[in-house]
Amino acid sequence: MTRGLRRAAAPLVAILVFLVLWEAAVWANGWPDYKMASPSDLVPAYAKYWDLFVIMGWQTLWRTVLGLLLAVMVGVALGMVMGFSRMMRDALYPLLVGFNAIPKATVVPIVALIFVGAHDFNTVLIAFMISFFPIAVSVSIGLSTLEPEYRDILRSLGASQSKIFWKIALPKTLPEFFGALKVSVTLAFIGTNLMEIVSPHGRGLGALFDSGKTNSDYPLMFAVLIALAVLGILLYYVVVALERIFAGWAERAPT
């Protein structure tokens, strides 16, 4: 088996083992579907509501991606400001840490009340708010730890600050950036679904989950959770693919 095939098969085997163990645990404990739905209980839910999963899944996905893109833009900009300026780093870090320490579940109702009826905006905003912090911190750390010798050599050769950034600072920061982006992907989905569940005009998979809870349709609720996991995995591997394109040089083969 080739290395590429092994890498592709490994996560699929792990997921299959997880589903088998899940099914076995439900069967062994005799849990009814209103206590713990099994994987076999989810198939009828997907078959019955497949059109809603497609529509709601797309709504959740595009809002999450948009919020994540905003998080990337703002996070990179803040990270650059803090990375190149010690004064700005000392000034902004306490604010960012304090903001990130606030549970976003408490912020969601406030945002929903402030922007009543603007569900798409609310959802994208929460996805952005919950996911930009790791990106800003990673970029800041990557730039602030840049070896001064490199900067001194390039400056002595007449390189401008922008050239130093593009030639040295940016490549050095990419591994940290993509590591933070992998974390932000899952955080953005959390933010999106918090708003979809809480908002009275909620749409997306979060609203579908809330509908299942209201109607005591537990297989539907578990099916939504698995659908969210699948979307998160897909978006994660998109980031992995981008990382291999732009920062593949930083990957070290296991010894």
| Rounded Cα–Cα distance for residues 48 and 53 (Å) | 10
Q: In the predicted model, what is the mean pLDDT of residues 2-18?
A: 81
**Residue 72: closest CA among 169, 188, 215, 189:** 188
Q: Which residue type is seen at 140?
A: S
For residue range 164-201, list pLDDT tens digits in order.
777 777 787 888 899 999 999 999 999 999 899 887 66
CA–CA distance, 125 with 71 (Å, rounded to integer): 9
> Which of 9-23, 147-161, 229-243 is predicted least confidently?
147-161
Single out the residue of 249, 242, 245 nearest to residue 65, CA to CA: 242
pLDDT bucket at 145, cuts 50 / 70 / 90: confident
Which class for 37: exposed (0-12), middle (13-18), buried (19 or more C-beta within 10 A)? Answer: buried
Mean pLDDT across the chain: 86
- The verdict on pTM exceeding 0.85 is yes
At 103, is the secondary structure helix, strand, or coil?
A: coil
**Per residue in 96-123, pLDDT tens?**
999 888 888 888 888 888 887 788 899 9
Span 72-86, pLDDT tens digits: 999 999 988 888 888
Rounded CA gap, 11 and 226, in Å?
15
Q: Are 134 and 183 in contact (CB under 8 A)?
A: yes
DSSP 34: T
Please say if the pLDDT value at position 133 is more than 60.
Answer: yes
The pLDDT assigned to 222 comes to 93
225 pLDDT tier (thresholds 50, 70, 90): very high
Can you give the pLDDT at residue 144? 79
Q: Which pLDDT score, from 0 to 100, does residue 188 have?
A: 93
